[in-house]
Structure 1
Amino acid sequence: MTKTGSPDGPGVFLLGVGAQKAGTTWLHQQLHNRKDADFGVLKEYHVHDARTVPELARFRQVPMELRRPRSWVQPRTWLRQCFIRSPGLYYDYFTWLLRRPHRPGRKVCLTGDITPSYALLSADALGEIKRGFQQRGVPVRPVFLMRDPIERIISSQRMKLRKLGQRDAESEQAALRRRINKGRGLRSNYAQTLEALQQTFGLEECFIGLFETLFTPTSYANLCRFLEIPYLEPAWSEKVNVSATANPIPEQLLAQLGEQLAEDLRTVRRVLPNANLEQLWPTASRWCQT
């Protein structure tokens, strides 16, 4: 039986469903740089979340008027809007990336869309993606990377503050308090994502990985096997979107985050029973009371 990712197969589509701040940008960079991969013009296409998640409808709201040149959008934004309005074009585009003529000696067998907010997609939305590619003979390979849920939120908040030029402890703590007061948040629900993947693909047909082990030869080699591509040494030292600081987080805030995110730890312990989360997720293991 010919493997789908082999030189004689149709190639595969990597569906990256998050999580945010869990290594997705690094992963896209490593894979897109390969000669046997082509992810197109974007890393995050924001098509299926814009179409099906009400809270992310902003991605389909583009105020543009042909008579006002300053309102015109970039070609990439225009392409995204075409995909949102006509999803069939989305599936055709990635199928074309796999099958279009390339330079002599180059065979593309991997393409994909890594959009962290796809973690919010329902089983119905994931099923539509699966069927869209099945109709074109392209297998879908779902990839979901998770990170210590408390560390993930802290990292996300630090990235936002860094863009504003705010790196002091007072600003960071105030931002975390505001985040906690908003509740659990859209992207802090590993259980929801895992359940949707289970219903659509079965978790045994997905790559469920951890940010904390992603940057190791064993984990990365497992991912390459899952995607049916040869192992190539990635740029281990290449850091993307680094947002660490030395600012301490008050224990009260960590305890409040732990209370909100306990379900994440409980779910991942069930799904990955062999993972040493006490070692890999020390912050969540201490503060998430399960």
Structure 2
Amino acid sequence: MSRRPFFVGVGAQRAGTTWIGHFLRRLPDIRFSPIKEVCYFDAKHVEARKRVISEAMNTRLAVLGLGNYTRKHPLSGLRLCYHYLGIRKLSDDSYRAFFDELARSGAVAGEISPSYAMLDEDAVRHMDALLDQPNVFFVMRNPVDRLLSQYSFLSTRPGLKAPGGTDLTDALCTLCGQSFHVNYPRSLKTYRAVLPEDRFKTFFTEHLFDPARTQAQCDALCDYLGIGRSAVPSDRPVNRAPAVEISLETRAILAGKLAKSYSAARAIAGEDLPLSWQRDLALIDQT
């Protein structure tokens, strides 16, 4: 793949994008945004996300990321802070200047915002034009496993709250209907309608975290971004959440509700679809 100056990572919540961000941040050819989830395009284009950049949690994370970067790179960091003030006002010029600053040394610069899975075609066209046709990658995780991880995350993190219900199955079904970030068929259709095949690549969380495939998957990501390969570090930081155990019956119910996402992924991956996805598809076929 030819090297381009910018990239954007998209993916579902709880799909491993935090780990990917840690990996990319270590690479000498990459200047990863100090703010992993800038959320610029969803704040600009998705009505329900208009104020997301100014929310307290995102503000704290942005200040922490920019503060750490500025301590290591004082001049560049101060310029990034200035540009970020403009990003919070949804300024295209500031967003582009933010990444131009990161790419100043000739490195590839980018960010990962899972919420970009919510964008429509006009928003993706806006992204494509503003960043001069960036490379975009999309990360998917088994829909039921991702849902369970999201429920656990919401249930155990201070300040967050998982939906209630008459029982766990009911609560999970409720959350299933609220997970607007993870409509794989819609997201895939949107990005593939706007971007050419050579600038939109999909990855599966299960392949990335499979010890037998992790290095090859990271090599493929580096090749796609047009940068040098790097060994995957052994200290792999992952934003983990406690496991949630469910019955096979509940799994079948949830998989049925998410059947279109399984089918959309199968249409892309074919026989290389991860085993957990294949097992859930078998459950769907049996119901």
| From 81, 87, 93, the counterpart of 1:88 | 93
Alpha-carbon distance, 1:47 to partner: 0.8
Taking the aligned partners of 2:136 and 2:278, their CA distance within structure 1 comes to 27
Partner of 1:284: 280
Aligned residue type for 1:163: R
2:149 is the counterpart of 1:149: no
Taking the aligned partners of 2:283 and 2:182, their CA distance within structure 1 comes to 16
Change (3 A) 1:60 1:38: closer
> Normalising by the residue count of structure 2, what TM-score does the alignment of the two structures yield?
0.79
Bigger Cα Rg: 1
Change (3 A) 1:50 1:263: same
Change (3 A) 1:275 1:164: same
Alpha-carbon distance, 1:128 to partner: 0.7
Alpha-carbon distance, 1:238 to partner: 1.2
Alpha-carbon distance, 1:111 to partner: 1.1
Partner of 1:127: 125
Aligned residue type for 2:137: V
2:45 is the counterpart of 1:52: yes
SS at structure 1 position matched to 2:149: helix
Alpha-carbon distance, 1:203 to partner: 3.6
Taking the aligned partners of 1:259 and 1:118, their CA distance within structure 2 comes to 25
- Identity across the alignment (%): 24
Alpha-carbon distance, 1:176 to partner: 5.2
Partner of 1:8: none
Q: CA RMSD in A?
A: 2.9
Partner of 2:245: 248
Change (3 A) 1:276 1:164: same
Taking the aligned partners of 2:197 and 2:271, their CA distance within structure 1 comes to 15
Change (3 A) 1:184 1:61: closer
Taking the aligned partners of 1:144 and 1:276, their CA distance within structure 2 comes to 15
Q: Is the deviation greater in 113-122 or in 250-259? A: 250-259
SS at structure 2 position matched to 1:257: helix
Taking the aligned partners of 1:161 and 1:176, their CA distance within structure 2 comes to 15
| From 259, 266, 270, the counterpart of 1:269 | 266
| From 191, 194, 202, the counterpart of 1:197 | 191
Taking the aligned partners of 1:271 and 1:203, their CA distance within structure 2 comes to 12
2:115 is the counterpart of 1:117: yes
Taking the aligned partners of 1:241 and 1:261, their CA distance within structure 2 comes to 24
Change (3 A) 1:271 1:62: closer
How many residues align? The count is: 257
Tell me if structure 2 keeps the 8 A contact 1:122–1:196. Answer: yes
- Unaligned ranges ≥5, structure 2: 57-61, 67-80
Change (3 A) 1:59 1:184: closer
Alpha-carbon distance, 1:284 to partner: 2.6
| From 228, 231, 256, the counterpart of 1:230 | 228
Change (3 A) 1:229 1:174: farther
Change (3 A) 1:204 1:274: farther
SS at structure 1 position matched to 2:111: strand
Partner of 1:103: none
> Normalising by the residue count of structure 1, what TM-score does the alignment of the two structures yield?
0.78
